[in-house]
Amino acid sequence: MENQVLIDKFSAQFAAIQKNLNGKGESPFNKVRSDAMTHFERQGFPTPRHEEWKYSNLKKVLKKDYNFHVQSSLSEEEVKSMPLPNLYGNVLYFVNGVYQEEYSDIVSPTDKLKIMTFREAQEEIPELLEAHFSKHVNSEAEAFSALNTALANDGVVVYIADNQTLEEPIIMRMLGDVTSQDVGAIVRNLIIVGKNAEVKVAEAYRTIGDKASFTNAVTEIHVGQDARVDYYKVQNENDLSTHIGTTQVHQLDRSYFYAATFTINGGFVRNNLNIILDGEHIETFMYGLYIPNERQHVDNHSVVDHRKPNSVSNELYKGILMDHSTGVFNGKIFVREDAQKTNAYQNCRNVIVSKDATMNTKPQLEIWADDVKCSHGATTGQLNDEAIFYMQSRGIPREQAIRLQLRAFAEDVVSKIKIDSIHEYLEGMIIEKLGE
Amino acid sequence: MLKISDLKASVDGKLILNGINLEVKPGEVHAIMGPNGSGKSTLASVLAGRDEYVVEGGSVIYQGEDLFESAPEDRAAKGIFLAFQYPVEIPGVTTINFLKTAVNEIRKKNGQDPMDAASFLRMMREKSKLVKIDPELLKRSLNEGFSGGEKKRNEVFQMAMLEPTLGILDETDSGLDIDALRIVADGVNELRNEDRSFIVVTHYQRLLDYIVPDHVHVLYKGRIVKSGTKELAKELEEKGYDWIKAEVDNQVPA
């Protein structure tokens, strides 16, 4: 089998976790994990022959000999030095996939917000953990989700109690320390948002150093009835980084979920955003922005599954592709037979700035209900020359006219961010990448 | 100020301007009229530097310098302003930010410091009155969702903000009702002074009732075939272009 080195490492990691279970191997949580390992071993890594991986070839990035559980030599100051301006809220630090409790700062009261390791969650909220851990992640068909579930050990369970509005955002800062070697990380977090609760969550990924990294991240989010969740994923890793992430969301009646995924930098990025609308009168928003350059590859897959009537989903992804970069957008919308009166919209808009860049878009609608409103659109084009000339004719140099237009193109996705610190950070990063 | 000599220009390999001669002195208003397809808009575009147009011959000297050596943004910095026939919608860029960038880029090129925010806003307020443009409109994306009249007013407003030496109006009257036409013309008239010149490209004479030209030229088949005063425009209004076409077409080429 190809990539056997990596697979052996994962098997060893799994064995190490199993050794430390202290007789809890038969707990529901650990049962799910060992089943997932079986699923992973059966599937192996996907190749481009796999329909969902047609345009994203993993061969090269899986060849490297990544080291897992690397002890970082970075000081606390260095870990915290990632430039998020005006940082405020519950700030959780992860280094190479492992939660760093001693660096983290939880400011919300414990009756509203609990942050637990998976081990703690098994003691404190066993029923909730069993109800939500890996309930909707598809380990049988998705190798990386299976692997991630099998090795879930180092992340956190975030629990927001019923009827609680969290004033302070939760910001998860994921740092890959690649200063001295190629590093791998399995990141697994579970966010349970109780009935009628409200929270804003951000995941910000970054690398320090110029070696390669491999991150397999899965975040599960359960959005209870009437709950409201804003979720931002920000990726700004180096050109040798590989990120394969899945955000798996489950929404109940009258809930609101807003996701925005920003890929500012990264070598090989695959984001899966899977949302199940498992109730009525749900609102779901999905926004995305990716701005790859050089030989970066960014692949966004989304699945919106309308299972019940009267809900709305709206999706808009935007891409700016420079140099030799490649992009993929694959958006699936399912409207089940029961999901009458569904409104589902999807749009993907791309600007190709270089003749060597490529974008592949594939919308996929499967509709079994007859009284629904659905639309999708995908455009890939170049910058508008007439607009550039218009700006030039007003005295704005050509290069700047191009940058102004690109930033304006990105702006409507960025401007909606409700965590100030993340908003400012992104504005800065986008300007840095596209030019002043 | 501007001297066009034997200017020839093509687009997509097709010769559109076929030897234009025109001199514009400071403070003068020149109207360029002519039937559809005569090359009026091409002339405006060539002067502003639109790159689909290829200059095939002749010269344009502007303030003593060869105009064709300057990029469009540099022409703007030297005081040339083109009011577009079809102003472009630019989503995500507000008129305010767009103009702030433009004003300061032009100032930079002319060795001036950027304008401070307060002075800029004061200037905006003053100039917006000139064309009765709603200041709220200026906070929106440039031209996006603007009506035809609003777009044209925005063009004249931008011209007022950038204070050019030579204003080129490309069919600014097209698509305007009579009230909007008057507002736009009043704005232009406010900007007229002894140092600032205009080239007004128009198909119809009615704009020239409001912006009274010093000279009127008729363009046909890429050449100026007749020049005169504002009376020529009146004559064209009455008789149409056919008599001029006939006159030119019946001439045996030398």
Chain B residues whose beta carbon lies within 8 Å of the beta carbon of residue A398: 71, 73
pLDDT at B253: 58
Residue B222, class by beta-carbon neighbours within 10 Å (0-12 exposed, 13-18 middle, 19+ buried)? Answer: buried
Chain A residues whose beta carbon lies within 8 Å of the beta carbon of residue B71: 392, 397-398
Q: Determine what percent of chain A is predicted with pLDDT higher than 90.
A: 89
- Which residue of chain A comes nearest to B168, CA vs CA? A393
**Dihedral angle, C-alpha A8, A14, A19, A22, nearest 10 °:** 180
Tell me the per-residue pLDDT of A73-116, one tens digit each, with 9 for 90 and over: 999 998 988 778 888 999 999 999 999 999 999 999 999 999 99
Architecture of the domain defined by B2-250: 3-Layer(aba) Sandwich (3.40)
In whole angstroms, give the CA distance from residue A73 to residue A180. 9
Per the CB < 8 A criterion, the answer to whether A322 and A292 are in contact is yes
Q: How many CB atoms lie within 10 A of CB B149?
A: 16
pLDDT at A83: 76
pLDDT at A397 over 70: yes
Residue B243, class by beta-carbon neighbours within 10 Å (0-12 exposed, 13-18 middle, 19+ buried)? Answer: exposed
Q: In the structure, what pLDDT confidence band is assigned to residue B175 with cuts at 50, 70 and 90?
A: confident
Residue among B88, B101, B141 whose CB faces A386 most closely? B88
pLDDT at A46 over 70: yes
A vs B, Cβ pairs < 8 A, gives 75
For B78-138, give the DSSP string: TTEEEE-SSPPPEEEEEHHHHHHHHHHHHHHHTT-PPPPHHHHHHHHHHHHHHTT--GGGG
Chain B residues whose beta carbon lies within 8 Å of the beta carbon of residue A387: 88-90
pLDDT at B252: 59
Q: In the structure, what pLDDT confidence band is assigned to residue A328 with cuts at 50, 70 and 90?
A: very high
Query: Would the CB atoms of A389 and B101 count as touching at under 8 Å?
Result: no
Average pLDDT score over residue span A120-137:
96
Tell me the per-residue pLDDT of A9-45, one tens digit each, with 9 for 90 and over: 999 999 999 988 877 878 899 999 999 999 999 999 9
Lowest mean pLDDT among A47-51, A146-150, A245-249: A47-51
pLDDT at A296: 98
Q: Determine what percent of chain A is predicted with pLDDT higher than 70.
A: 99
pLDDT at B22: 97
Residue A159 DSSP one-character state: E
Q: How many CB atoms lie within 10 A of CB A227?
A: 27
Phi, then psi, of A141 in degrees rounded to 5: -115, -15
Q: In the structure, what pLDDT confidence band is assigned to residue A3 with cuts at 50, 70 and 90?
A: confident
Tell me the per-residue pLDDT of A213-232, one tens digit each, with 9 for 90 and over: 999 999 999 999 999 999 99
CA atoms within 13 A on the CB side of B148: 12
Domain boundaries, chain B: 2-250
Tell me the per-residue pLDDT of A242-251, one tens digit each, with 9 for 90 and over: 999 999 999 9
Q: In the structure, what pLDDT confidence band is assigned to residue A436 with cuts at 50, 70 and 90?
A: low
Chain B residues whose beta carbon lies within 8 Å of the beta carbon of residue A394: 76, 81, 98-99, 102, 158, 162
Query: Would the CB atoms of B158 and A397 count as touching at under 8 Å?
Result: no
Per the CB < 8 A criterion, the answer to whether A159 and A133 are in contact is no
Phi, then psi, of B46 in degrees rounded to 5: -65, -40
pLDDT at B139: 93
Residue among B87, B92, B103 whose CB faces A409 most closely? B92
Chain B residues whose beta carbon lies within 8 Å of the beta carbon of residue A391: 90, 98, 102
A interface with B, Cβ–Cβ < 8 A, is: 384, 386-387, 389-398, 400, 404-405, 407-409, 411-412
pLDDT at A430: 94
pLDDT at B114 over 80: yes
CA B71 to chain A, closest CA, distance in angstroms equals 8
Tell me the per-residue pLDDT of A162-200, one tens digit each, with 9 for 90 and over: 999 999 999 999 999 999 999 999 999 999 999 999 999
pLDDT at B97 over 70: yes
